[in-house]
Structure 1
Amino acid sequence: MRVVMVGTGYVGLVTGTCLAEVGHDVSCVDLSEEKIRLLKDGVCPIFEPGLENMIRRNAEHERLQFTTSLAEPLAQADMAFIAVGTPEGEDGSADLKYVKAVAESLGRLINKDMVVVVKSTVPVGTCDIVEEIIDRELDRRQVKHQVIVASNPEFLKEGDAIADFMKPDRVVVGLNDFTAETAFRDLYRPFIMDDQGKLLLMDRRSSELTKYGANAMLATRISFMNEMALLCERLGANIDKVRLGIGSDARIGRKFLYAGPGYGGSCFPKDVSALLKTSNVHGVELKVLNAVTDANERQKNLVFQKIAQHFRDLSGRRVAVWGLSFKPGTDDVRESPAKVLIQRLLDAGAFVVGHDPQGQANFAKEFGEHERLTYAESAYDALRGADALALVTEWSEYKRPNWDKVGQMMANRAVFDLRNQYESYDLISRGFHYECVGRPDSRSLPI
């Protein structure tokens, strides 16, 4: 099948490359000449394990092409995907300007019957808008083509996106015209050979809401466990034990039940906010999700409160922060809990040294310069003369540090572990002050 993928961001690039991997002919289109030049040279503009090699392999086999021109590949395509960004607007709603711009371009260029697929995460009713724009542009040209607009949300975890796409839990497709069902079955058959029932067909609005609902549910689990962790600290219980007990219930499961510094990234904060905005517009109060957002903002301040309580005065103190991306396996720093921590440390007069295996450049670009904020080339370099170490992102290289070396490099042996990666007895026996989240070795904070 011949596919045009409009947008070479995270979703568009992973989707287009994985479709090419199973034999589809994919053309990825982007307005950025620099990004297209890099991709043609086999350089992936984002960090996603395994993606760059897959891009190079499929480009060499001529199944994957990159261009800034939409017209030529669209003329031969069976399907056109819209996979552009939907950034959060000032009011919390999803900004659809890029989606609308692509719809207008498609309407001006489509020269045959076509299936247009909205892959971007969009509010309920967006496919209706895309359909109206395309129909309007076709009418202006006085041409008649059957253009079916479908919803096909992505469910990709950054850091594990290729596995998620190649072996999906489900593929959700929203159609109001089910004559396009065969096209989607042909497109996704290689990915669901083990179970054709993984292709879930529904109406477009249900499909659009499924994406927001899934992310909102996962965000809710995270915030719930973070609140349980706060209660564990007060009661002397252990959140790691509680998590195992809760997660052993088959109705609940163990995924997304880890306490930590709060959720971040490009999806959960934006999607929860957009869903709340949609609900407000339609007069439906989502009390649970409002509480989820409030709990997450409070959790992002947790580690700063622990550090501030320990030192009392942070002015002139030096704090090393391990992990700047919102999760391991990605260079994405959007809504990273490290941003909140570092900003509060700087506001309190501290010096901060950050380190991240992949996200350092993006963090420096997004956060901006500050005279008391620097970055280290290695995790250990960040510790030189540090009064405290804060583990924010659980990258593999941080999991088993040489604590003798750590202790020698630090001015004060204080470790604040937001991911519960370390054993308190081991650190305390070596003379470290150690605090984590929701375990008996955490210090109780006012709730």
Structure 2
Amino acid sequence: MSNKRRYFGTDGVRGKVGQYPITPDFVLKLGWAAGRVLAKQGTKKVIIGKDTRISGYMLESALEAGLAAAGLKATFTGPMPTPAVAYLTQTFRAEAGIVISASHNPFYDNGIKFFSSEGTKLPDSIELAIEAELDKDIECVDSAQLGKASRLTDAAGRYIEFCKSTFPSKLSLAGLKVVVDCAHGATYHIAPNVFRELGANVIAMGVEPDGLNINDQVGATDVKALQQRVVEEKADLGLAFDGDGDRLIMVDEHGNKVDGDQIAYIIARDLQRKGELEGGVVGTLMTNLGMEKGLEKLGIPLIRAAVGDRYVMEQLIENGWKIGAENSGHVILLDKVTTGDAIVAALQVLASIVYSKQSLNQLSQGMTLYPQVLENVRFSGDTNPLEAEAVKVVVEQVEAELADKGRVLLRKSGTEPLLRVMVEGEDDQLVRSSALKIAEAVKASC
């Protein structure tokens, strides 16, 4: 069997709705292929959740038909955060969980991602087996063996209680005014309730999904509206989730953005103070140098993984560590959950605020984010700008100028012929001019 995936990316199968592979016929076939492979594992029940995109109705119907043809029972949760589906898959002892979502993307995209019975991403071997099955013609099981579909009516309530259980029982959010932005996505009916039930005064926004407005100028990918609202309402802080609830960006009382690096730093420092930190923190190649320096001062090690929560998770498991993060807001806390969970991550920071009696702004002070500039340079598919001598020379010059107060990262995009040029350092002007200088050298070499 080939190890090259044709359909599965780092986060399932994703694309524009109506364009292959996010079409009803392909998703029906994917449901059948997954059903065939999972049935061999002994699976008979699959939990299926979705975010609030209009295409979710069409795709869950197609998935249901495919799974039923392979003899699997589908249990639907309705709109539910990705981490909630991972949790429910575990708690119901289902053999797999499926999420219909394109996470932080616009409404016209969608995707299908799978979780194992342990609530983790499917192993490579299972994904490859599903791809091999897709090459075959659909064969329906005997009528007596066809799968049935059912609906899980109390999914939201179960997940709300789970989230609350990760917050210290002796603490309360009473007295805190929190603006919660749900991106018109899957957390709209869950996140505000979690924080209200723990005592917070909650101002909710981004909680009126219409199938088309998910992630549209709201949520973790665009916090401008939240920043404005926090300042206007004189709130203690703001929380922004993305469309499927696995990314968190926070906003402090002054309207400053607090990203995934800073959130992980606050949580790691808090655990260290309690003597509960096991090992260090896993970041990515994009993790800000300021976080690395901040953790260094505390004596907490940082390992950089490739970009993508899948790779962060691999490093966490390999090292036996518990905290992983991407600056985009994916925060994985393996002592609490099996995947990135924005609500659970937010609760840990809020616990730190209540316990320490410090504001989010004060808790963020331990580390300083370095200016970071990213330039995308398009190149023709048959050239490799990373190998160009002129590019290497300019990179060496920039690295010498930045010394130990900055760094350069060049990496190819995994999906298109783009070279991503990232430069960060203490000096904002030097960082900007250096990024442009490297980008120009790349363009010239192409």
TM bucket, shorter chain: under 0.3
TM-score by length of 2: 0.28
Structure (1/2) with the larger helix percentage: 1
Query: Which structure's CA Rg is the greater one?
Result: 1
TM-score by length of 1: 0.28
